C-alpha cells in the first residue's frame, strides 16, 4: 500500500504543510453548497493553527491548513478529551495525536502477542512521526469509532531507532515541528500500511516496531492492529468523506465542513460530482499538462498548495526566501486535465501567485493561488524521475469545491472504490 509522503518546510515564518512538496490556486467548476448540520458533519476551519499560540521563536502561522476537533476516550469509558487543531489530511490514513496534547487522559498501550510495546515510524519526505501505538475510542461530530489503534507522537516514550531517524532529517512530534496538535488521516485507504507481507509479516515496510528493554526493532503488524482510518470503524457513514470549503481569494479564516459518508444520508449525496477512479495500488490518477501525462497525481487536503512539476516545466521562478514555493512576478494561469482509471476526465484551471507577496499579507492564512514545485532540490543534475514531478492537488484545490474521498473496500455510489469525486 502506498503512503503519500509529506514535507514540512519552514518558509518566512509559515509552514508548508504536510505534503509531497509544498503550492496552488484554482477556479472551481461551480458554486458549492456547504452542509452545516447533521450528526455526520464536523466543522473545519482554515486558520493560523495552534502553533500560532506558541511563545517566542517557536510561534508561526500555518498556511492553508484545515483543522478539526477530535475527541479521544479511554476505550469503553467516558474518560475523554477533546483536542482542537488537528489537521485534516486526505493524503494519509489514521489518527495521530501529539503526546503533549493528551493532557488529561492516558490511553492503553498496544502490545505484541508477547507483551512487547508497539511503536510506529511513519516517514514523510523531510520528516517522520514516531511514537507508540495506543488504543482509543474516537468521536468526531456525532460519529464514534471504538477501540481505534492510533499513533501518539513522542520522541521520548521509546527511543527512536536509527532506522527511523535515517529516513528524514527531523521528527514532527512536537507542536513546534508539526504545526498541529495531530493529523486526522481520512484518505482513501483503510490502514496506514496495508496487507502486503512487508507490512503484516516481515516488517520490511519499516513502519511498525516492537520495543524491548529500550531497543525497538522493525516487525510485521497484523492488519487489524495497524493504525486505521477511523472512518471505516464508524457504525454508519463509513465509506468516505466530503470536504466542503467555500471559494476564497485570500482570508484570515475560512469555515467549512467535514462530512462523513457518501450517499448514506440525505446530506452527503454524490449529486452531480464527477467520479475519478484511483489506481487501487498507488491511490493516484493521471494529470495531463502541456502534452505530458503524470500518472502519480493525487488530491491531498494535507498539502497547503498545488505542488507540480518544476521551474523548467512551468516557467515559474522559485522563491528566494520562501523555499519550496513559486514566486512569479505576477499571477500566472494554468490549465490541466485530470483523468481517472475509470476513463472520466475533466479540466482544472488554477493560478499561481508570488508566495512571498502572499505571505506578506500579515493576517491571512488561506490563499487560493499558492503553489510550488513538486520536487524541492538544489541539485543541478540529474533531473528527478518523472514520478517525482506529478501533481499534488493541495488544499487550494478544495476552495469552492465539494471534494469526495471514497475508501478502498467499501461500497459507495459512483462506482468502484477508491475514488475521488468533485
Domain for residue 240, yes or no? no
My answer on whether 335 and 212 are in the same domain is: no
Decide which of 48 and 30 is more confident.
Answer: 48
Say if residue 284 is in the same domain as residue 335.
yes
pLDDT band at 380 (very low <50, low <70, confident <90, very high): very low
Domain final residue, candidates 205, 233, 261: 233
What percentage of residues in the chain have a pLDDT greater than 90? 84
Q: How confident is the model at residue 335 (pLDDT cuts 50, 70, 90)?
A: very high
Q: What is the pLDDT of residue 169?
A: 84
Task: Tell whether 111 and 218 lie within a shared domain.
Answer: yes
Indicate whether 226 and 309 sit together in one domain: no
Say yes or no to pLDDT of 28 above 80: no
Task: Classify residue 81: in a domain, yes or no.
Answer: yes
Claim to verify: residue 212 and residue 84 sit in the same structural domain: yes
Asked if residue 73 belongs to a domain, the reply is yes
Q: Per-residue confidence at 125, pLDDT binned at 50, 70, 90? A: low
| Residues 310 and 403 reside in one and the same domain | yes
65-102 burial, b at 16+ Cβ within 10 Å, e below that, comes to bbbbbbebbbbeeeeebebebbbbbbbbbbbbbbbebb
pLDDT of residue 36: 95
pLDDT band at residue 375 using 50, 70 and 90 as cut-offs = low
Q: How many domains would you assign to the chain?
A: 2
In a domain, 248, yes or no: no
Distance (Å, rounded) from C-alpha 73 to C-alpha 238?
20
Q: Name the one residue in this structure whose C-alpha cell is 521563536.
A: 57
Residue 291 pLDDT grade (very low, low, confident, very high; cuts 50, 70, 90): very high
Q: Grid coordinates in use for 112?
A: 505484541
- Assess whether pLDDT exceeds 50 at residue 21: no
Q: Which of 233, 260, 285 is the last residue of a domain?
A: 233
Which pLDDT value is given to residue 8? 32
CATH of the domain at 152: 2.40.70
Report the mean per-residue pLDDT for the chain.
90
Q: pLDDT category, 168, cuts 50, 70, 90?
A: confident
Please indicate, yes or no, if residue 400 is contained in any of the structural domains. Answer: yes
297 and 195 in a common domain:
no
- Mean pLDDT of all residues in 298-319: 96
User: For 404-410, what is the mean pLDDT?
Assistant: 98
Structural domain ending residue among the three candidates 180, 209, 233: 233
pLDDT at 382 over 60: no
Q: Which residue has the higher pLDDT, 4 or 154?
A: 154
Judge if 225 and 287 occupy the same domain: no
257 assigned to some structural domain: no
Q: CA 139 to CA 207: how far, in whole Å?
A: 25
Q: 215 and 121 in one domain?
A: yes
- Residue 285 is assigned to a structural domain of this protein: yes
Could you tell me the residue range of the domain that residue 400 belongs to? 269-421
Say yes or no: 215 and 293 in one domain: no
Which tens digits make up the pLDDT trace of 179-219? 999 999 999 999 999 999 999 999 999 999 999 998 999 99
Q: Over the stretch 53-86, which tens digit does the pLDDT of each residue have? A: 999 989 999 999 999 999 999 999 999 999 999 9
Q: Is the pLDDT of residue 386 over 60?
A: no
Q: How far apart are the first and last CA of the chain?
A: 24
**Are residues 49 and 184 both part of a single domain?**
yes
* Claim to verify: residue 193 and residue 48 sit in the same structural domain: yes
pLDDT band (50, 70, 90) for residue 388: low
Residue 324 in any domain: the answer is yes
Amino acid at each position: 500500500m502506498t503512503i503519500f509522503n509529506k514535507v514540512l518546510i519552514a518558509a518566512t515564518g509559515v509552514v508548508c504543510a504536510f505534503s509531497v512538496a509544498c503550492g496552488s490556486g484554482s477556479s472551481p467548476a461551480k458554486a458549492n453548497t456547504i452542509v452545516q448540520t447533521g450528526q455526520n458533519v464536523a466543522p473545519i476551519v482554515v486558520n493560523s493553527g495552534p502553533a500560532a499560540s506558541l511563545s517566542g521563536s517557536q510561534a508561526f502561522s500555518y498556511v492553508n491548513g484545515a483543522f478539526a476537533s477530535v475527541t479521544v476516550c479511554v476505550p469503553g469509558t467516558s474518560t475523554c478529551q477533546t483536542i482542537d487543531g488537528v489537521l485534516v489530511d486526505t493524503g494519509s490514513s489514521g489518527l495521530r495525536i501529539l503526546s503533549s496534547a493528551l493532557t488529561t487522559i492516558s490511553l492503553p498501550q498496544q502490545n505484541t502477542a508477547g507483551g512487547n510495546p508497539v511503536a510506529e515510524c511513519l516517514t514523510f519526505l523531510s520528516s517522520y512521526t514516531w511514537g507508540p501505538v495506543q488504543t482509543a475510542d474516537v468521536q468526531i461530530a456525532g460519529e464514534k469509532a471504538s477501540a481505534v489503534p492510533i499513533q501518539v507522537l513522542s520522541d521520548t516514550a521509546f527511543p527512536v531507532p536509527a532506522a527511523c531517524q535515517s529516513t528524514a532529517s527531523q521528527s514532527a512530534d512536537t507542536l513546534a515541528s508539526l504545526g498541529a496538535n495531530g493529523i486526522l488521516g481520512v484518505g482513501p485507504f483503510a490502514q496506514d500500511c496495508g496487507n502486503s507481507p512487508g507490512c503484516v509479516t516481515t516488517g520490511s515496510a519499516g513502519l511498525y516496531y516492537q520495543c524491548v528493554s529500550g531497543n525497538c526493532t522493525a516487525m510485521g503488524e497484523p492488519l487489524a492492529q495497524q493504525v486505521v482510518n477511523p472512518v471505516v470503524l464508524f457504525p454508519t457513514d463509513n465509506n468516505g468523506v466530503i470536504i466542503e470549503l467555500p471559494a476564497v481569494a485570500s482570508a484570515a479564516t475560512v469555515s467549512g465542513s467535514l462530512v462523513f459518508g457518501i450517499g448514506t444520508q440525505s446530506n452527503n449525496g454524490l449529486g452531480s460530482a464527477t467520479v475519478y477512479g484511483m489506481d487501487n495500488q498507488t491511490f493516484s490518477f493521471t494529470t495531463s499538462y502541456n502534452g505530458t501525462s503524470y500518472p502519480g497525481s493525487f488530491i491531498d487536503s494535507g498539502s497547503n498548495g498545488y505542488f507540480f512539476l518544476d521551474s523548467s516545466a512551468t516557467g515559474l521562478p522559485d522563491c528566494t526566501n520562501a523555499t519550496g514555493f513559486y514566486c512569479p512576478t505576477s499571477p500566472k494561469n494554468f490549465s490541466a486535465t485530470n483523468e481517472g482509471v475509470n476513463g472520466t476526465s475533466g479540466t482544472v484551471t488554477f493560478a499561481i501567485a508570488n508566495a512571498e507577496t502572499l505571505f506578506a499579507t500579515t493576517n491571512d492564512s488561506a490563499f487560493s493561488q499558492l503553489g510550488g514545485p513538486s520536487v524541492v532540490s538544489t541539485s543541478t543534475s540529474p533531473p528527478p524521475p518523472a514520478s517525482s514531478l506529478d501533481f499534488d492537488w493541495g488544499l487550494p484545490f478544495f476552495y469552492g469545491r465539494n471534494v469526495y474521498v471514497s475508501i478502498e473496500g467499501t461500497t459507495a455510489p459512483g462506482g468502484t472504490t477508491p475514488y475521488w469525486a468533485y
